[in-house]
Amino acid sequence: MTRQISTGSSDKRVGLHRHLYVQVLVAIVCGGLLGYFFPRLGADMKPLGDAFVRLVKMVIAPVIFLTISTGVGGLREGGKVARITFKALAYFIAVSTFALVIGLVVANVFQPGAGMNIDPATLQAASVSQYAAKAHAQTPAGFLVNIIPETVGGAFTGGDILQVLFFSVMFGLALGMSGERGQPVREFLDSASSVVFRLVAILMRTAPIGAFGAFAFTIGKYGVGTIAHLAGLVGAFYLTAIVFVAVVLGAIGWLNGFSIFRLVAYLKDELLLVLGTSSSEAALPNLMEKLEAAGCEKTIVGLVVPTGYSFNLDGTNIYMTLAALFIAQATGVHLSLPDQLLLLAVAILSSKGAAGVTGAGFITLAATLSVVPSVPVAGMALILGVDRFMSECRALTNLIGNAVATIVVARWEGGLDKGRLDRALKSRPAAEAPDRRPTEVPQPSLEPTP
């Protein structure tokens, strides 16, 4: 029997305990308590979180391939793919650059690192050397070449989203050009999509276990008290990210006809997954499915969301300029306006050049600091201890930013069903929507079928 979601007082309501977001929230609280009262046992829960993230990563490549290849393969107009990609990249560059500027402004106004008077010679440079080495290994040219996989199998086994995206677009274009001969392949891929998304729904049932293990490890390993030493930086970053989402992304949403707060409420399952696991990839398959259910065209979702995971990192960009100036202030380095503008220009490039690399936020920060010699790269050791806590906020902001970007690009491209979006976000009763469709909320079911 299919579960129905209530949209009125007469519908049968599903028990609160059966909602995924409630289960994940309870798991996060339980994991935090375990890590706080039994730190060693909490730290031992790490494999649970790692296992869940790996389960989700296992299906990311098939989800992207099936979504994009079927979507692009069904297009009659070949130039539409290039047009969607161009609009998405234009949006990414504009908004992510604005996020960098906001981080720069906040750091100058609040100066969270001022007065610390840290001697760079006393810092343990070895603790951040691995990140600096990865940063130097990433060049713009190498990044662009790396988008092309060496083999088709390598695109799916290497874990690089952009390589999967590249092959999927090329395959979809070839499928669309095949005409009637490609019809059996399209039908097979459509059927495979249904199976894979059902698999995603099954995997999501283990999300509370993964969130419990990941959060227990974070609190048990690093401790809540770790934040107190750098509360100014952590607090400034969280406050800035919240203001960015509410004001900047909120204004973008308002201009495009939707509420950012209702969108956040609609994505609560995915946001809690990210909070619990500190991995935005854990929510990628569900984010794509929910955006499709909310009225965004399948092809646009398939192109914008995976690309945004590499190019539209709003939270990471705020973190980069804020953390860079924090290190400069903490070590007594004065950065003039030209120095800060150089820092900004480098960050715009480095935030794209290290996309898709594990620990990208810390690596891109190392790449940015290496170009401004007056700021010691070793100063990154100051924030290494609390980076885990800030990584959660980065991932949450990145996910919301990519959801907003997808809806905006879909609207620009004429691929947004406003009636379905309104019903999904519950901005008005379904009966008032322009096209009279079934009254159930169009969001994917992640709870077990009763």
Side chain identity, residue 318: I
| pLDDT of 401 | 92
Three-state helix/strand/coil letters over 310-373: HHCCHHHHHHHHHHHHHHHHHCCCCCCHHHHHHHHHHHHHHHHHCCCCCCHHHHHHHHHHHHCC
| pLDDT of 36 | 86
| pLDDT of 220 | 84
| pLDDT of 386 | 65
3-state secondary structure of 416: strand
Residues of the chain predicted below pLDDT 50:
1-12, 127, 353-358, 428-450
Alpha-carbon distance 418 to 407, whole Å? 10
| Tokens found for residue 203 | 């995997």
Query: Which pTM value belongs to this model?
Result: 0.71
| pLDDT of 428 | 47
Under a CB-based contact definition with an 8 Å cutoff, are residues 327 and 111 in contact? Answer: no
424 contacts: CB under 8 Å, gap ≥ 6 = 266, 290, 293, 294, 295, 441, 442, 443
Domain residue ranges in the chain: 16-432
Compute the CA torsion angle 400, 304, 364, 231 (nearest 10 deg). 0
| pLDDT of 438 | 38
Alpha-carbon distance 164 to 136, whole Å? 25
16-432, superfamily in CATH?
A: Sodium:dicarboxylate symporter (1.10.3860.10)
Among residues 323, 298, 290, 326, which one has the least CA distance to residue 403?
290
36 contacts: CB under 8 Å, gap ≥ 6 = 42, 219, 220, 224
Instruction: Say which residue the tokens 């590249």 belong to.
Output: 166
Alpha-carbon distance 27 to 21, whole Å? 10
